[in-house]
Every structure is written in C-alpha cells, then in structure tokens.
Amino acid sequence: SPQGRRNFAEAMAAGQLEPYFPLSEQFVTQDEPTFCGLTTLTMVLNALNIDPRRRWRDEAGPGWRWWSDEMLPASCTVPLEQVRAEGTTMDDFARLAVANGARVRTRYACGESLDSFRASLVERTTSAAATFAVTSFCRARLGQTGGGHFSPIGGYHAESDSALVLDVARFKYPPFWVPVEQLWEATLAVDEVTGRARGWFELSAAPLNERCEHTLYSWRATS
C-alpha cells in the first residue's frame, strides 16, 4: 500500500530495516500449510550464512550447501510427517534452530511485557550485526484467517510503532506492517498444543565451538 511504502522508506532512512535485506534475499514460501516454522527457520539459517555441512542438491557433483525445509532434521524433535500434520511448537523451533547452528533466546510472552517485546524488535531491526527476530503469533488476533503462525521480522517503523512481518505464507498474505501492540497481543494467545502463550525468538549464528555440540542428525541437550 502507499502507506506501507512510506513506512518502509522512513524506516530505511532511520536505519530500522537492517534485517530486511538479508532476509529478503532468502525469502521463500512455505511448501505446506503447517511448515511456517520450518520455512522461517530456513530463511534465517540462510540469512545467517550457517553452513548446513551437507549439500542441498547434486550429492554426486559439486552441489550447493544451502538450507531448505526438507533438510532440517525434524527427527531431533518430531518426525517430519508429524510436522506436516501438526505443525511446530516454540520448543520444537528452538531445538531445531540450536541443533542446526543458531544461537537462540526463546521469549515466551507470558513472562514478558509489551515494552520488552518492543525493545527486542527495535534492537534486532537496528543492529548491523546478523541477528533476527522471529515471532510466533495467533493470526486470528490480527484479524487474519488461520491459527498459530511463525514469521521473521524485517523492520520497525518508529512513528507508527509498527513491525514489518515477512509472512512466509505468501499464498495468503504479503509482508505487512502491524502495530507492535497488536502483534504483542497476538503473541499472548495460548498455543492449544502446549497450553502456553506464544512469543518470539532472538536468533544469531552460534560460534563454531558451540556448534560442535550438535550434529545435523541428532540432538544432544546442552542445558
């Protein structure tokens, strides 16, 4: 929309669109209705330049070391077929991210506040370092169709106090600006699977000496 484009231009001038360009270079649409968590993580891992340590395609040739949804070792949390049937919880998302080389801080909305949510988004969207915010929210709280959803945040617009959600379900919604308070309310919605509020994540690439604690094919708890 014209207003959305104005927000984008103003946010870029203010230095509040730092995540947008690395994430948009990796922007993909989820392959399955329940793959929003996997697709969001695929985008973030590629934007962080985390080496998957195996080829995406062409195993017999030079290949490409690149993340895609089917490469994520969902067996370290739940089988891929179960993700296809049921989706991903916040705990599943965090375990998958850590097992594949990311440093993750999980922030459940029930233990946070609107101010801490806003501060986290502002820090992620203004930092020149490779660090990203991912939200887990209830679409219905935003007046959208569907239930729980994951997507990364691409920017923040201070004047309207809005966040740019890079929706991975592009067959349903394009990227959109949403007031931070409204998005916060959407993260407070309880996930029926876990019985807990949703929330958000702060992700960056883990140092190499931390990544050696995990493999692509198994999960070993380190906490």
Per the annotation, the verdict on 110 as an active-site residue is no
Per the annotation, the verdict on 76 as an active-site residue is no
CB 81 within 8 A of CB 55: no
The Cα 159–Cα 174 span in angstroms is 22
What backbone phi and psi angles, to 5 degrees, belong to 91? -65, -40
| CA 216 vs CA 52, 76, 103, 150: distances in Å | 8, 9, 15, 22
CB 103 within 8 A of CB 82: no
Q: What is the largest CA-CA distance in the chain?
A: 53
The Cα 114–Cα 182 span in angstroms is 10
Q: Which letter, b or e, does each residue of 113-137 get, where b requires 16 or more Cβ atoms within 10 Å of its Cβ?
A: eeeebbebbbebbbeeebbbbbbbb
Closest CA to 22 of 210, 174, 166: 166
- 149, 157, 191, 214: the active-site residue: 149
Structure tokens that stand for 209 in this block: 């000496």
Q: Let me know if 10 is exposed, middle or buried by CB neighbors in 10 A (0-12, 13-18, 19+).
A: middle
The Cα 32–Cα 169 span in angstroms is 9
- 69, 92, 167, 191: the active-site residue: 167
Per the annotation, the verdict on 36 as an active-site residue is yes
Instruction: Give catalytic residue positions.
Output: 36, 149, 167
